[in-house]
Chain A
């Protein structure tokens, strides 16, 4: 509660990305913290379980934490829109270490960004982590599993997962923002307005995130297919001949 309340007490402009400090009213900021809490708790439990099962998975978690941090605060210019935005990275993290650990990774990344880079905010950390961590991770993970069930290759499933993780994250951001700032205004027109404002930037960026995700999954398949078997991304039958 202190984390939510403190930033709301000051009132000068900030230059930030994600949902900036102070934009959400107190009750909405607290609500998203409450919604996020069980996911973070389950993420911690899952990470402990993974560490107990196999120590060799720790470098994979470390690698993905670094990747998510870099990707989610790297502004990429989109010439068609004339704006900059950033992918999320939670799609690839969810595929490789599971959606719950991916939520935890997103929470830590966004906390560091909020504290030291004025990127997002502490009062909006719950909301930002919910959209990027929870929605992005689960959308990416479900899309990947679904595409694999339908017979898609690793690259195709990775692309679909990255694309949908990105788009779902921004759809969730639009939802959170519309609910938080609408006041007496009706929800649907505002939600549509925010989604339409995101479209020119996030449509091409989602495709880029799909390419990055597909690239990372296939690269890991070539280098360490055994890790993908351990994390149940592929079955033992799908191991390459040389592995």
Chain B
């Protein structure tokens, strides 16, 4: 009997959890704007209204997916560094 109750509980949890997750993903599509970075949507927009335009960065990130690649490399390097230092802090060899 307890086993049967546990199965019902798991089923009920899935019945609640899955639609909730689906709605959460759907909720992201209901956003009032287009997911611009806030510093573009706010800072650059207001600066433009006052006659200040953003200029090109010193090192041009190129077009297409190059910038995405840059972010990925940065994230990977920083992620490995964080993991390495965390292991140094919490490992047996501390």
Residues in chain A within 8 A of chain B (CB atoms): 6-8, 10-25, 56, 59-60, 62-63, 65-67, 69-70, 73-75, 77, 79, 81-85, 112-118, 121-122, 173, 177, 180-183, 185, 190, 193-194, 197-198, 201-202, 220, 223-224, 227
Closest 10 A/B residue pairs (Cβ): A22-B55, A82-B33, A82-B31, A63-B85, A66-B82, A20-B54, A85-B38, A59-B88, A17-B39, A66-B81
Query: Quick one: given A66-B79, A117-B70, A197-B46, are A85 and B39 in contact (CB under 8 Å)?
Result: yes
Apart from A21-B58, A66-B79, A82-B35, what 13 extra A-B contacts exist at CB < 8 Å?
A6-B58, A16-B54, A17-B40, A19-B43, A59-B88, A63-B89, A66-B85, A74-B75, A79-B27, A83-B42, A116-B70, A198-B42, A201-B42
Complex contact A85–B85 (CB within 8 A): no
Complex contact A118–B67 (CB within 8 A): yes
Interface size of B as a range: 35 or more
Please classify the interface of chain B as helix (H, G, I), strand (E, B), loop, or mixed, using the class held by over half of its residues.
Answer: helix
Complex contact B28–A77 (CB within 8 A): yes
